[in-house]
């Protein structure tokens, strides 16, 4: 089988409401790029990458001279061809490589008539558990969906549990001052006895704030405290003072950092992201290293539609040491581009796809509809807050949002 064409299509898919985070917001929609790798046998493999627009489309177009005529099964060859680690100092193609790896694994699975998890060693579980992943949210254009007050956080956690069956709950913080977010996190935990919890302020606290917050949640049933401070040394200093695991998706996102963390441990749980690490296979490799050195692993979400979610499910299916629920933004989406619409949660879990390849197919009408949406709306600055134009978030941050500010942004839809 040989690669004959590569297509990249930016899409904009609506979220239920704008999601607030430490560096800005998802402005009520996800912009993603759907990648299709065509072959001489008529099979098409699917990939997905965050962001979109002319730059993303041009980046994939520019790789055609490298990849056309190549065998999609030669994945290690492809890694060195387009993302050689020293050449990548100049071109930073890791996320592009990831999208292409997804598509090539999808092609191999289709060709061989097996799901991707069989190529990766076989599934150990039929479904992957997920955490509820709560965000502070602005209201949508109709005034619905706001999560700002402590009561709204609790109500949202209870509603998500009732709807999807989650038993682990993640609150994304770093938006308001730590004392306010502590109140929200504790209230959520107290409203859901027996469940487990994790908090992630995206590394915007000082080491001292991280230690202060951590010491005030030690009595709760925490899965872990995620990236309370940015940097390995800050994490190491916080870890010395806290009686709970620390997790990261920011300071260990590659093998060099993983080696450093093994030699001088700063983080207990590595959140593996199929995009950040350059594909599903590098995540499996990293999980093996974590297993050897008895570090924990979980599955990170960088915002996904169904294709990337499928990569997370196949990854989650094959990892023996996946002892935590995975993260996904997925339940915030209003729709998807895959056939059949949004995948369903049952008892907080999503079934691992069993069809050939990634086990998902494109709904061409939806792809066209959401590509039109992208052309109409364009991109948006993910690292800006629509209600605070010109705001610059610091690390450590001190420029918090005001929890009493109930205004709602007007964002084109
Ligand atoms: Mg995180």
DSSP state, residue 172: E
**178 and 41 in a common domain:** no
Structural domain includes residue 218: yes
Angstrom distance (rounded) from CA 282 to CA 67: 20
Query: For residue 35, what are the domain limits?
Result: 3-117+364-377
The confidence score (pLDDT) of residue 53 equals 82
Structural domain includes residue 322: yes
Angstrom distance (rounded) from CA 99 to CA 48: 5
**127 and 34 in a common domain:** no
CA of 125 to the centre of ligand 1 (A): 25
Q: Tell me the CATH number at 156.
A: 3.20.20.120
The residues annotated as belonging to the active site are 172, 300
**315 and 199 in a common domain:** yes
Angstrom distance (rounded) from CA 315 to CA 328: 13
Structural domain includes residue 263: yes
Residues 6+ apart with CB under 8 A from 83: 91, 93, 94, 96, 97, 278
Angstrom distance (rounded) from CA 343 to CA 309: 9
**127 and 93 in a common domain:** no
Structural domain includes residue 358: no
**243 and 169 in a common domain:** yes
**182 and 331 in a common domain:** yes
The confidence score (pLDDT) of residue 88 equals 84
Structural domain includes residue 394: no
**107 and 70 in a common domain:** yes
- DSSP string of 16-73, one letter each residue: SSPEEETTEEE-SEEEEEEEEEEETTS-EEEEEEE--SHHHHHHHHHTHHHHTT--TT
The confidence score (pLDDT) of residue 14 equals 97
Residues 6+ apart with CB under 8 A from 350: 127, 128, 130, 309, 313, 328, 330, 343, 344
pTM for this predicted structure? 0.98
Structural domain includes residue 389: no
**272 and 139 in a common domain:** yes
**287 and 162 in a common domain:** yes
Per-residue pLDDT of the chain (413 residues; tens, 9 = 90+): 999 999 999 999 999 999 999 999 999 999 999 999 999 999 999 999 999 888 899 999 999 999 999 999 999 999 999 999 898 888 889 999 999 999 999 999 999 999 999 999 999 999 999 999 999 999 998 999 999 999 999 999 999 999 999 999 999 999 999 999 999 999 999 999 999 999 999 999 999 999 999 999 999 999 999 999 999 999 999 999 999 999 999 999 999 999 999 999 999 999 999 999 999 999 999 999 999 999 999 999 999 999 999 999 999 999 999 999 999 999 999 999 999 999 999 999 999 999 999 999 999 999 999 999 999 999 999 999 999 999 999 999 999 999 999 999 999 88
**213 and 93 in a common domain:** no
CA of 194 to the centre of ligand 1 (A): 23
Structural domain includes residue 312: yes
- The total of structural domains in the chain comes to 2
**89 and 227 in a common domain:** no
| Strands annotated E in 141-195 | 168-172
The confidence score (pLDDT) of residue 248 equals 98
CA of 327 to the centre of ligand 1 (A): 9
The confidence score (pLDDT) of residue 266 equals 98
CA of 320 to the centre of ligand 1 (A): 22
CA of 3 to the centre of ligand 1 (A): 35
Specify the residue for token string 């052309």.
Answer: 375
Q: Tell me the CATH number at 47.
A: 3.30.390.10
CA of 173 to the centre of ligand 1 (A): 10
- DSSP string of 246-275, one letter each residue: EEESSS--SHHHHHHHHHS---SEEEE-TT
| SS3 call for 298 | strand
The confidence score (pLDDT) of residue 135 equals 98
**265 and 316 in a common domain:** yes
């Amino acid at each position: 089988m040989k690669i004959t064409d590569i297509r990249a299509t930016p899409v904009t898919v609506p979220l239920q409401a704008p999601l607030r985070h430490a560096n800005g917001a998802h402005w009520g929609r996800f912009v993603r790029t759907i990648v299709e790798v065509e072959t001489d046998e008529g099979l098409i493999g699917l990939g997905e990458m965050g962001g979109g627009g002319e730059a993303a489309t041009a980046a994939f177009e520019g790789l055609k001279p490298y990849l056309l005529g190549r065998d999609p099964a030669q994945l290690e060859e492809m890694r060195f061809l387009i993302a050689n680690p020293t050449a990548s100092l100049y071109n930073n193609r890791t996320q592009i490589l990831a999208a292409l790896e997804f598509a090539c694994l999808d092609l191999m699975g289709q060709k061989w008539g097996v799901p991707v998890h069989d190529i990766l060693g076989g599934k150990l579980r039929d479904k992957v558990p997920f955490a509820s992943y709560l965000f502070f949210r602005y209201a949508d254009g109709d005034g619905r969906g706001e999560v700002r007050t402590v009561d709204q956080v609790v109500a949202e956690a209870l509603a998500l549990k009732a709807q999807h069956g989650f038993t682990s709950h993640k609150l994304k913080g770093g938006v308001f001052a730590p004392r306010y977010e502590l109140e929200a996190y504790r209230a959520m935990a107290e409203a859901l006895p027996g469940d487990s919890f994790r908090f992630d302020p995206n590394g915007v606290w000082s080491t001292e704030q991280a230690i202060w917050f951590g010491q005030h949640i030690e009595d709760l049933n925490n899965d872990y405290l995620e990236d309370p401070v940015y940097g390995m040394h800050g994490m190491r200093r916080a870890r010395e003072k806290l009686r709970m695991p620390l997790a990261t998706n920011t300071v260990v996102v590659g093998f060099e950092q993983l080696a450093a963390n093994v030699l001088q441990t700063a983080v207990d749980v590595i959140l593996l992201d199929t995009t950040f690490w350059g594909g599903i296979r590098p995540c499996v490799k990293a999980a093996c290293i974590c297993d050897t050195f008895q570090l924990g692993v979980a599955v990170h979400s960088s915002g996904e539609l169904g294709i990337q979610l499928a990569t997370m499910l196949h990854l989650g299916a094959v990892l023996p040491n996946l002892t935590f629920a995975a993260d996904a933004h997925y339940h915030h989406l209003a729709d998807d581009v895959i056939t059949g619409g949004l995948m369903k949660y049952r008892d907080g879990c999503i079934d691992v796809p069993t069809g050939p390849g990634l086990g998902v197919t494109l709904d061409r009408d939806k792809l066209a509809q959401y590509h039109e949406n992208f052309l109409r709306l364009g991109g948006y600055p993910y690292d800006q807050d629509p209600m605070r134009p010109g705001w610059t978030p610091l690390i450590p941050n001190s420029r918090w949002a005001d929890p009493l500010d109930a205004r709602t942004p007007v964002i084109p839809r």
